[in-house]
Amino acid sequence: MTSTPTRWPKSGPSWLKVIGLLILPAVAFAYPAGHLAVNHEPSLEDDSFSLEKRAAHILETITLIDGHNDLPYLIRVELKNKIYDEKFTFESGLLSHMDLPKLRKGKLGGQFWSVYAECPADPETQIADPTWAVRDTLEQIDLTKRLVEEYSDDLKLCGTVACARQAFEDGKIGSFMGIEGGHQLGNSLATLRQMYELGARYITVTHNCDNAFATAASTVAADGQDKGLTEFGHEFVQEMNRIGMLIDLSHVSYQTMLDVLAETKAPVIFSHSSSYALANHHRNVPDDVLRSVAENGGIVMVTFVPFFLEVENPSAATIHTVVDHIFHVAEVAGWDHVGVGSDFDGVGVVPVGLEDVSKFPALVKLLLERGATDEQVRKFAGENILRVWSEVENYSWALTSAGEKPSEKTWLGRKWTRADMSMPFMFDDSMGNRIPGKTYP
């Protein structure tokens, strides 16, 4: 339901409103719009400032950060990652949800670009067998870095909160990378660390497939068992805490959410999920988890995917539905724990009123119109995710500066191979303990 902000103090007697209504037309003629009914120093939360002005002021002074955008994957799908030929008209405009003119209009200050690669095709063998997922992920990281470099007047690659803030100060869009599933790491903690080195700053624990770390929401939706985090998954969470990788719980099963929240010592994110209480979809966040996220200090970045907003009738989803979800997360978890994760360019259909990234100011304006304070909207837009990210950075710094070493654990189901060739022995028992030799054709 839409509620218009009141022009009078909420506690004020009703007769004041009556007098106000009577004198309002006269005052309107006597003063310019910006001074209506002001009898004290004007502030930006006065209704005498239009909602647009309040929204514009917020977006000029806080970096609006979106948790999830699939442009790199769209470039892969349509252009095989080629951005230098004339077909990629990023500067003059694209039909999809994201390009430079739309970005500028949308006042976006920071973007987590998803460097997504698909789950392996065969769910039975996908964990143990080598796949191309790591190569494809490296290609998406390479593409995202080239994209940022090619449009460096507008974009800046960042791996720290300090850089994200500086990019905003410099009028650039901070560009951060997120990996959407442990399968993209080949289920390896060594790969996890190297992805961090390459600039990835969040890992979604699973995409739409189970992996060596955890159960995916899609498995449970297909009547599979919800096993939550595996034993190795607990190690994965600890290692992400140690290196300062944001842990993303979008796409994971309910039990995985609970297990990660019990294990992690740093705040988590949901990079693109909405409220389960409002839309019973397995990709959304139930209220008990919202309360745990609040305790954990994390953030749920509400997504625009119509299927997760209106399960029964996705085509009915509008910008108002998104605001309903944002308010629900804020009511249950608090305004310190809500943000935005559009999933633009990753879905064919988007809510009415949120057609592309140029519409972010309309979302901010509607939040204000529905009664959120400027301070609450500032947290939602960017302060929350930057707080979460800096807590993750600080905890990592505490662990690494205390000398905590990288984890050398590997998944027990992992297959190892070596060539059958003559090599020296390091130990007396080397003969019996080596990976068996293999003759290649």
The one catalytic residue in 66, 97, 99, 180 is 180
Tokens of 317: 């989803």
Type and span of the H or E element at 299: strand 299-302
239 carries an active-site annotation: no
The one catalytic residue in 234, 251, 282, 328 is 251
CA separation, residue 9 to residues 12, 20, 377 (Å): 5, 12, 20
What span, in angstroms and rounded, lies between the C-alpha atoms of 328 and 344? 22
324 carries an active-site annotation: no
The one catalytic residue in 207, 234, 281, 337 is 207
The one catalytic residue in 97, 183, 234, 272 is 272
Asked if residues 252 and 260 have their Cβ atoms less than 8 Å apart, the reply is yes
Mark residue 187 as left, alpha or beta (left: phi above 0; alpha: psi -120 to 50; beta: remaining).
Answer: left
Query: Which among 278, 279, 289, 288 has a CA at the least distance from the CA of 252?
Result: 289
Tracing tokens 């749920």 back to the chain, one arrives at 300
Q: How many CB atoms lie within 10 A of CB 8?
A: 14
Q: Partners of 248 in the beta sheet?
A: 204, 269
DSSP annotation string for 56-85 = HHHHHHS-EEEEEE-HHHHHHHHHTT--SS
Q: Partners of 176 in the beta sheet?
A: 112
Q: Partners of 369 in the beta sheet?
A: none
Burial of 307 (0-12, 13-18, 19+ CB in 10 A): middle
180 carries an active-site annotation: yes
What span, in angstroms and rounded, lies between the C-alpha atoms of 320 and 326? 10
Task: Outline where DSSP puts E strands in 107-214.
Answer: 108-114, 155-157, 173-179, 200-204
Rounded to the nearest angstrom, the gap between the alpha carbon of residue 178 and the centroid of all alpha carbons in its chain is: 8
CA separation, residue 271 to residues 114, 205, 211, 339, 432 (Å): 10, 11, 19, 9, 47
Type and span of the H or E element at 340: strand 338-340
Query: Could you give the residue ranges of the DSSP H alpha helices within 188-250?
Result: 189-198, 217-221, 231-243
The one catalytic residue in 324, 343, 345, 356 is 343
68 carries an active-site annotation: yes
183 carries an active-site annotation: no
282 carries an active-site annotation: no
Type and span of the H or E element at 6: none
343 carries an active-site annotation: yes
Query: Which among 378, 303, 393, 285 has a CA at the least distance from the CA of 336?
Result: 378
Which residues are marked as active site? 68, 70, 180, 207, 251, 272, 343
